[in-house]
Structure 1
Amino acid sequence: MRIVKDIENISLKRSVDAGTVEQRKAVIDIMENVKRNGDQALIEYTKKWDGANLSSLLVREEEIAVAYDNVEKDMISIIKEAAANIKDYHQKQLKTSWSFTQENGSILGQRILPLDSVGVYVPGGTAAYPSSVLMNVIPAIVAGVNRIVMVSPPSENGTLPPAVLVAADIAGVKEIYKVGGAQGIAALAYGTESIEKVDKIVGPGNIFVALAKREVFGDVAIDMIAGPSEIAIIADETARAKEIAADLLSQAEHDERASSVLVTTSPKLAEEVSKEVEIQLSDLPRKEIAKKSIDQYGFIVVVNTLEEAVTIINTIAPEHLEIITENPSDILEKIRHAGSIFLGRYSSEPVGDYFAGTNHVLPTNGTARFSNPLNVDDFQKKSSVIQYSEAAFRENAPKIAKFARLEGLEAHARAIEARDK
């Protein structure tokens, strides 16, 4: 793993994958087909790309019961405990409607309501991601969303991974459909005979899913277009090389374009971590992916002071930030840009991925400068409430009319003056 002394000489920015012309055209064609042919298009695409010959897309209750039989009991308990932790954390984010009365009798406020419906996309294929189910569904449940629909591509035998179904049931999903890819996004956005359209779509997916989410944005809301994962670590001489290397690799194994960066004041730690990464790579099951990630986007930056480290981190604005120093809380106060922050030796990034309760759907590729982790607010909408008193209206009507005429909007001014009698 490369050791550098100047962050300006390295590039961590990954270009956003906008897909090829052929991929974008394919997504548009899929969307139009789903709009025209509904369920039939979904069934045909599922047979073509997933190899599953389905007569119905809906996951039946019996399938969920079978899923429970195929997940170890202790794993079910772990999923339940993780779900409880996630629910507890997100309940503290919940906001309620409010109002206040002014001296003149006017009432101003804000009405906060949950979205009516949300679609959750869960990736399929060879991997199963029950944690993704929990992280996307539970904030919506806490927000009070009445209808949550989950879609995910099935295996060739027409089933979804048992752990995914168990997680969905524990989280509270009542509608689950066996459909993935751009066609799944199209079904959520525009509706079919079986799947009623939703108001917002969340959840990660491959390039076709990402392109489809871009395409439907505006017809429905979306969470984000997520980029490759990333981790940055600030560490001093008190940190342990073996643990730091393991944490760096925990993100490198996600994707060849994932970014793993250590910023340290200790040249000795830098050397030790560089060697330890190579040692741990040797028997990592996803070695090829992790190695390409480390070779392209893995760096160790040696700095003179922790203040320099903070400056680098605020420039990078990483998705995940670990602070493993003698006094991590002192560093925290200076961090302005990071998606999720982990303090101290025992706050390894996977703690947040799976169990602590914070959300692992996070802004990537520098967007932590202006974006937030997925949260309860993402599943609520707000309306302003105005109940102007007669006294306030009489006092302010001439001012409002004059303001309207300043902007050349005579009908606005007349709407006020029609009442000023």
Structure 2
Amino acid sequence: MEIKVPSVGESVYEALLGKWLKKNGEAVRKDEPVCEIETDKITMEINAEADGVLTIMAPEGATVKIGAIIGIIAEGRVAAEAPAPAETGVPKEAPPLSPAVRKLAQEKGISPETVQGTGRGGRVTVDDLLKGGEQPQLFASGAPAVTPAPPPIDLKEPAEERVTRTPMTPIRKRIAERLLAARQQTAMLTTFNEADLGRVMELRKKHKEHFQKKHGVSLGFMSFFVKACVEALKEFPAVNAAIDGNDIVHHHYYHIGIAIGAEKGLVVPVIRDADRLSFAGIEAAIAGFVEEIKTNRLELSDLQGGTFSISNGGVYGSLLSTPILNPPQSGVLGMHAVQERPVVRDGQIVIRPMMYLALSYDHRIIDGREAVGFLKKVKEYVEEPEELFLEG
């Protein structure tokens, strides 16, 4: 059975074979993940469609076309165990080689017996051959070859010889392209404000345990801000709009993108119809996205169709930043770290848990008055969240 690169979208034509989760010649079971692929939009796992033995046809890091065959599963076969070395240290006869390894060895002119295998039972894999003998070879005595000491560092050698150059992954390329496009193709401005999170923190502390028991999810900050943004978007619809050619498209629904940091880059899955969800529904949706990202099960459809986005740099300790638009959206809210600061309340200096807020917006369709009004409305809702919380 052939393992092919699946189609993941009309505009995606190739992918990066990121990592093999199984080794060449290893037994796999049906529905078991065998490899990870990356496109310019998403990272996903490919599962085995049958029980059998895996033969790897394409190495990690290779760029492969959609529909290309990257591996074969020989159904019904059992992975051969390599014999253990004799006690004298002289290796026994090498284990059987897979067709892919045998073919690659012939092309490269490498004798597989001289390469130390890292596969199951010491089998030589395609990766072992691709490394071109970088691993220590075995003498007849079974002792590893002696590696010469590295030469002393020449401080006069060119800097270029002391750098590592790796190609950008498809996802990182796409992120770079979109960030550059946001700068070049929009009239982006940012307005700032700050919010007192005292009442939100009190509500969370009061209801957290009951909320967890009742709904099975934690009550976080993000659901308050999603609710606040939805209500503010209803009052300032231009912030929920987008430019399409010479038209302004006003959305009468609220699909809120939530920026989540992943190992390979930032992704923005979309909570659809957030205005119809409760606090528990929003928190459950976010938790589901986080789990899907960790297990590479996030689908392309999860990233499409957003009308407004929220990014929380505060989880990394950011105190203040300028979020970048996620085209074609016209607005993005930046949340930041909560920090106790002295503020004036009723003529008195008091210490309150404060958060800086930033709204980046496309000035082509959103005026400064609307942007400032929107951000002030978000501030009001999170500073007096009881109404939102009771409704949600």
Same fold by TM-score greater than 0.5? no
Q: Scaled by the length of structure 1, what TM-score is found?
A: 0.21
Identify, as 1 or 2, the structure richer in helix. 1
Identify, as 1 or 2, the structure richer in strand. 2
